[in-house]
Structure 1
């Protein structure tokens, strides 16, 4: 039996390719994308190019003022903290709710297994299963609006992750270990403890990235974990 084929519009296909090039670093912070250039590169009409650009503007990957050229967003320390604070609000409450029913989503378990298998691989390979781990927890609540709210952050979160991994700011083994502990706390019904560990998990990444961007890191950057040996 043939597999299901999903039709993708030209606008979505172009946006997906541009998104991939942004995440890979090919289109770096501040890179300009004009409608004319996009139309020429992909051999499409300017309205199609414009729609593709606007799709990425809506995702937070491109910044475009009125009558101005779109640019790949340049995240600074304040932006990074805003992104991670929004994540923490959503994810912490989700962990508490999952812990009430001790619901450990299999998709999150598998994502963490995939991270464990990548411990000796390229740092950037961690991004996809790491993001899948967190989105699986969000989706497990079964609330469409919460999932949609979280996905509105995904583009900017991935940009942060690309910077973190490309700069080797976090140890993959620690990411996997803290994910595993979060799952164990959910299964034990300890929602507050899971949320507290999540804050530490996200805070370490956030503040190390802030420091790498030239900002003043908070104490979370140097927080030591008991989950890994010295």
Structure 2
């Protein structure tokens, strides 16, 4: 399908980013510029500009004389990124609890009810989408564009692996319980409680990913 837009390279970057997040372009896979340009019916100039955007975001790595590859998130990357995100999103939850109106709380309650329905039905992809919407809503309620900008940049990297943690045994139910704890603190207008609950939520996400990685190593070794 041909891409047509006044900012062509940005639209191409959006397309490729979506394919990376969907897993269509797997971590470590080579990005064949000729093939991609043909698929999108564009020249290689806007494609190369798009790849520069994705490289700057950390989603693509460029190797001299070899080309571009989808980035692979390492365990060290996750160990370094998650504590930072926990601090930042914890602060967002603190600010959100201070700023939220009754209407804001009602909207969050509806999202959490939806989250619970997805968890009960074990609709992981739908759960993740609603989970993402809740995090976005809390970030928006914080009203701090600098926090939002840094979190957005970091979440692009973490998004390459975050969905996996919901497949860990018991993680879906644990995640829901953590979200409900965050919401309870927000509803009670308890900034410190909301901050602590959000930090716990994100720290446990990292723990679930670490356990999945450990189990995968055991399978491979066996």
| TM-score (norm: length of structure 2) | 0.80
Count of aligned pairs between the two proteins: 208
1:78 to 73, 76, 79: 76
Provide the residue aligned with 2:141 in structure 1: 140
Q: CA deviation at 1:115?
A: 1.6
Per the alignment, in what secondary structure is the counterpart of residue 114 of structure 2? helix
| TM-score (norm: length of structure 1) | 0.78
Matched, 1:161 2:159: no
2: CA distance between counterparts of 1:51 and 1:145? Answer: 26
1:28-177 pair list within 5 angstroms: 28-65=26-63, 68-101=66-99, 103=101, 105-106=104-105, 107-119=107-119, 120-165=121-166, 167-169=167-169, 171-177=171-177
1: CA distance between counterparts of 2:14 and 2:122? Answer: 25
- CA spacing shift, 1:8–1:80, aligned 2, 3 Å: farther
Structure 2: stretches of 5+ with no match in the other structure: 216-222
2: CA distance between counterparts of 1:187 and 1:114? Answer: 17
Provide the residue aligned with 1:15 in structure 2: 13
Provide the residue aligned with 2:206 in structure 1: 206
Higher normalized helix content (fraction of residues):
2
2: CA distance between counterparts of 1:164 and 1:140? Answer: 26
Q: CA deviation at 1:182?
A: 0.9
- CA spacing shift, 1:197–1:144, aligned 2, 3 Å: closer
